[in-house]
């Protein structure tokens, strides 16, 4: 039991704790004000398909009709739009109940609790919520023996043999299949191994959706893990254009955002979508008459399909060589002046070294621009690195989310959380609980002085927007010292400044400082904050943050 020091913070911490294994953690939220305060965090968990469980305290059954301050009409049902499943307890045992009525109410309670846990764990994974009236929780009305012997069920769906054989036949009859994956794939246990077997069986190059604005750092496949990996998909890359045009079948796997603004227009060839969340795949609108969708545990679906496909090695060497060529062609070319070498090259190299020194490194990214910068060096990151970006767009949830993750995995992994200016300001309340619980986590804040991304976006349409960028509106809040604030909360904090225009030859090299600080705190049992002060010049961030979507003319 941990006090998250805030309903929003507790909701994010519970999501973090269940990010790898659903229904591992739960958050207790206080009534309507606590739940509405935490709604953004819950909605973010929903979009990121995290199976956290939320227990919401409600007014007593007797007082609920009078709407006390912590009650609202249809509260659970209304906020239930942002969870996968919701329910509430509406009655409990009364001393005047018959034994039959008592048994019914106890059974109803357990059935509802069971559904909350089962839905959090089953595909599509997602948060669940149950409303618990105050009096139902205060009274002792459930016999301990029943609680002790209670078991929770878990149902799993399987593809029929007929469907599996029919899809396998389609796969066998295609000459130029391509696999397009999204990072949601890596949330499924055994997915990388299943994908490797599947790609080898059908001899198909693999491309992965890349995000070029908003959150940009997500877990990515590597060519050493899977030699059929042809890189992050770029619809402006001539090699990728050629590959896509000659495809006679595209298999999308765990696609959530494969719509034109993100990936451009897919060709009109036949498509098979393999997904654990059919609604989030269907919305992308590329499946037409004659296309297919398989839903459920994608790792098991891939393996079941391979059982009905005979391996073909005729063109294996040729296809592997082609995949290697495509991967080289898709490697990010850093578009920056040499004077920004520290931020555009060395920062990623330093973290590569640090990740390699850790048994199980995990990154939670809530930084956007720093995440985009680090993605440029992803090819060098170790294979065992786990990365969780935010598909929910909540700026400021990363601090508490990573804290929940670190609480659950503190003896098995080292957690690094990358933050931007606004995500720190939005989320620093979570540092209270982080300090209180002595959670071992490393926070890295990118302080580049202003919202570089939004200013870049605005000035692409109007070069004089926000008074040529001088207006304070998109600049950092004045007088807030991130390092100082962290120290006031009892957290060890460091500020590392990089000024490419500095003429001071005696100034310490930021590369050495960052590397030494990270090594020094690598095995710290307490939280650490590192503030990286980076320039805001547009030239320093060249190539990061696309100002247009892939559905717009260049």
Supply the angle between the helices 347-357 and 510-520 in degrees, to the nearest 10.
20
The pLDDT of residue 488 is 94
The span from the first CA to the last CA of the chain, in angstroms, equals 53
Residues 178 and 243: beta-carbon distance below 8 Å: yes
pLDDT digits (tens, 9 = 90+) for 173-192: 999 999 999 999 999 999 99
Q: Which CATH number does the domain housing residue 93 bear?
A: 3.40.50.970
Q: How far apart are CA 309 and CA 250, in angstroms?
A: 17
Q: Note whether 250 and 185 are same-domain residues.
A: yes
C-beta neighbour count of 332 within 10 angstroms? 17
- pLDDT confidence bin for 506, thresholds 50/70/90: low
Q: How far apart are CA 487 and CA 358, in angstroms?
A: 26
Residue 448 has pLDDT above 70, yes or no: yes
Domain end (from 116, 148, 180)? 148
What is the CA 452 to chain-centroid distance, rounded?
23
Residues 139 and 64: beta-carbon distance below 8 Å: no
Phi, psi at 185, each rounded to 5°:
-55, -35
Mean pLDDT on 50-69:
92
Residue 97 has pLDDT above 80, yes or no: yes
Q: Give a yes or no: residue 266 inside a domain.
A: yes
DSSP secondary structure, 510-535, as one string: HHHHHHHHHHHTTT-SS-EEEEEE--
Q: Give the rounded percent of residues in the chain with a pLDDT score beyond 90.
A: 74
Enclosing domain of residue 127 = 7-148
Cα Rg of the chain, angstroms: 25
Q: Note whether 324 and 184 are same-domain residues.
A: yes
Q: How far apart are CA 107 and CA 143, in angstroms?
A: 12
pLDDT digits (tens, 9 = 90+) for 466-488: 776 677 777 888 889 999 999 99
337 vs 106, more confident:
106
Q: How far apart are CA 75 and CA 69, in angstroms?
A: 12
Residue 157 has pLDDT above 70, yes or no: no
Q: Give a yes or no: residue 547 inside a domain.
A: no
Q: Note whether 230 and 98 are same-domain residues.
A: no
Residue 464 has pLDDT above 80, yes or no: no
The pLDDT of residue 152 is 62
The pLDDT of residue 307 is 94
Do you find a cis peptide bond into 124, omega within 30 degrees of 0? yes
Q: Note whether 392 and 516 are same-domain residues.
A: yes
- pLDDT confidence bin for 293, thresholds 50/70/90: very high
The pLDDT of residue 553 is 47
pLDDT digits (tens, 9 = 90+) for 367-422: 999 999 999 999 999 999 999 999 998 999 999 999 999 999 998 999 999 999 99
Q: How far apart are CA 159 and CA 71, in angstroms?
A: 44
The pLDDT of residue 124 is 95
Q: Give a yes or no: residue 552 inside a domain.
A: no
User: Which range, of 46-50, 141-145, 173-177, 497-501, averages the lowest pLDDT?
Assistant: 141-145
Phi, psi at 382, each rounded to 5°:
-65, 155
Residues 408 and 24: beta-carbon distance below 8 Å: yes
Phi, psi at 447, each rounded to 5°:
-100, 95
Q: What is the DSSP letter of 18?
A: T
Domain end (from 297, 330, 363)? 330
Cα angle value 353/356/361 (rounded, 5°): 115
Residue 431: which residues within 8 A CB-CB, separation 6 or more?
399, 486, 489, 491, 527
Q: How far apart are CA 75 and CA 61, in angstroms?
A: 14
pLDDT digits (tens, 9 = 90+) for 211-252: 998 999 999 999 999 999 999 999 989 999 999 999 999 999
- Domain count across the chain: 3
The pLDDT of residue 505 is 64
Q: Give a yes or no: residue 310 inside a domain.
A: yes
Average pLDDT, the chain: 92
Burial of 224-262, coded b for 16+ CB within 10 Å and e otherwise, reads: eebbbbbbbbbbebebbeebbeebebbbbbbbbbbbbeb
Q: Note whether 266 and 398 are same-domain residues.
A: no
Q: Which CATH number does the domain housing residue 304 bear?
A: 3.40.50.1220
Q: Give the rounded percent of residues in the chain with a pLDDT score beyond 70.
A: 96
Domain end (from 280, 307, 330)? 330
Phi, psi at 307, each rounded to 5°:
-65, -25
Residue 508 has pLDDT above 60, yes or no: yes
- pLDDT confidence bin for 154, thresholds 50/70/90: low
Q: How far apart are CA 514 and CA 495, in angstroms?
A: 9
Q: Note whether 379 and 250 are same-domain residues.
A: no
Cα angle value 5/11/17 (rounded, 5°): 100
Mean pLDDT on 288-314:
91
The pLDDT of residue 554 is 46
DSSP secondary structure, 304-324, as one string: HHHTTS----TTHHHHHHHHH
Residues 53 and 122: beta-carbon distance below 8 Å: no
Residues 524 and 440: beta-carbon distance below 8 Å: yes
């Amino acid at each position: 039991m941990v006090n998250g020091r805030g309903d929003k913070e507790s909701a994010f911490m519970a999501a973090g704790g269940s990010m790898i294994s659903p229904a591992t953690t739960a958050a207790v939220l206080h009534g309507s004000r606590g739940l509405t305060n935490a709604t953004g965090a819950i909605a973010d968990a929903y979009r990121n398909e995290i199976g956290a469980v939320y227990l919401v305290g409600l007014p007593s059954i007797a007082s609920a009709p009078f709407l006390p301050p912590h009650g609202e009409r249809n509260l659970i049902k209304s906020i239930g739009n942002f969870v996968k499943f919701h329910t509430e307890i509406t009655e409990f045992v009364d001393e005047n109940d018959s034994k039959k009525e008592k048994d019914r109410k106890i059974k109803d309670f357990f059935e509802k609790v069971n559904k909350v846990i089962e839905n959090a764990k089953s595909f599509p994974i997602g948060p669940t919520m149950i409303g618990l009236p105050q009096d139902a929780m205060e009274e002792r009305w459930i016999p301990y023996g029943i609680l002790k012997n209670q078991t929770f069920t878990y149902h799993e769906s399987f593809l029929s043999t007929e469907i599996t054989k029919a899809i396998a036949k389609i796969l066998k009859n295609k000459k130029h299949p391509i696999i397009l994956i999204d990072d949601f794939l890596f949330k499924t246990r055994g997915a990388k191994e299943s994908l490797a077997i599947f790609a080898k069986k059908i001899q198909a190059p693999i491309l992965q959706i890349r995000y070029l604005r908003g959150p940009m750092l997500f877990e990515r496949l590597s060519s050493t893990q899977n030699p059929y990996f042809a890189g992050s998909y770029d619809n402006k890359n001539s090699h990728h254009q050629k590959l896509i045009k000659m495809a006679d079948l595209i298999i999308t796997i765990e696609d959530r955002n494969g719509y034109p603004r993100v990936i451009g227009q897919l060709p009109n060839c036949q498509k098979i979508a393999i997904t654990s969340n059919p609604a989030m795949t269907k919305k992308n609108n590329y499946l037409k008459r004659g296309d297919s969708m398989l839903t459920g545990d994608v790792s098991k679906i891939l393996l079941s399909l391979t059982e009905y496909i005979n391996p073909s090695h005729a063109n294996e060497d040729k296809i592997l060589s082609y995949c290697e060529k495509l991967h080289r062609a898709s490697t990010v070319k850093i578009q920056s002046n040499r004077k920004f070498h520290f931020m555009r090259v060395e920062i990623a190299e330093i973290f590569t070294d640090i990740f390699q020194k850790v048994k199980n490194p995990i990154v939670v990214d809530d930084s956007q621009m720093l995440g985009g910068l680090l993605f440029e060096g992803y090819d060098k990151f170790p294979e065992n690195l786990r990365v969780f970006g935010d598909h929910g767009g909540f700026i400021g949830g990363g601090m508490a989310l990573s804290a929940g993750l670190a609480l659950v995995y503190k003896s098995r992994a080292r957690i690094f959380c990358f933050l931007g200016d606004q995500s720190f300001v939005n989320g620093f309340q979570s540092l209270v609980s982080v300090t209180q619980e002595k959670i071992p986590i490393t926070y890295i804040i990118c302080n580049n002085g202003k919202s570089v991304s939004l200013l870049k976006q605005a000035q692409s349409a109007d070069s004089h927007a926000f008074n040529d960028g001088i207006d304070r509106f998109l600049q950092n809040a004045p007088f807030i010292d991130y390092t100082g604030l962290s120290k006031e909360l009892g957290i060890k904090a460091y500020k590392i400044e990089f000024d490419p225009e500095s003429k001071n030859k005696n100034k310490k090299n930021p590369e050495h400082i960052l590397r030494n600080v990270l090594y020094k705190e690598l095995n710290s049992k307490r939280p650490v904050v590192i503030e990286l002060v980076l320039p805001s010049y547009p030239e320093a961030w060249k190539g990061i943050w696309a100002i247009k979507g892939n559905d717009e003319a260049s």
